[in-house]
Amino acid sequence: MKKNFILGFFLCLIVLASIQLSKSTLIENALTDEFFSSNTILRIEEINNTNFTEINTSLEKQQEMKELLKGQKLSIMEKSFDPLKAEYRIVSTSNPNDQIYIFVEENVIVFPHKSSRGYSIKNNDELIREVDFLLK
């Protein structure tokens, strides 16, 4: 009886740990490796309602943005976000499914081809503001 209780307790811990781990991911799991390649050009657009205005950024700034994003841990949020209410959209020109919508005030990113659920950046509250600064 005591062995069954201990075994059950450990199984519960394992299940709870896996649930918590499934609520977080790396940004590389939401985008392809191609997105982070130095050869990939990004199309960066500012969103104003339904108007998308392309922002001309140098290849150096694009690479700097990729480096900022790479390796970031994300926490999945329960809340959904309307991509058209984001401030920016970043699209890989080599793979249009690699898209990021950035919500500056909310400090959230959305990958619309995956889900409309938002992702907050774990342990880096300034990342979205740094991306915003790069784009201005």
Q: Tens of pLDDT along 55-84?
A: 999 999 999 989 988 888 888 888 888 888
For the chain, how are helix, strand and coil distributed in percent, rounded to 5? 40, 30, 30
134 pLDDT band (50/70/90 cuts)? confident
Give pTM, 2 decimals. 0.76
- Taking the C-alpha atoms of residue 123 and residue 111, their distance in angstroms, rounded to an integer, is 20
**So what's the pLDDT on residue 121?**
75
CB atoms within 10 A of CB 105: 9
Query: Do 93 and 40 touch, CB atoms closer than 8 A?
Result: yes
Tokens 């199309």, located at residue: 43
- Tell me the pLDDT tens digit for each residue of 79-115: 888 888 999 999 999 899 999 999 988 888 898 877 7
- Taking the C-alpha atoms of residue 58 and residue 104, their distance in angstroms, rounded to an integer, is 21
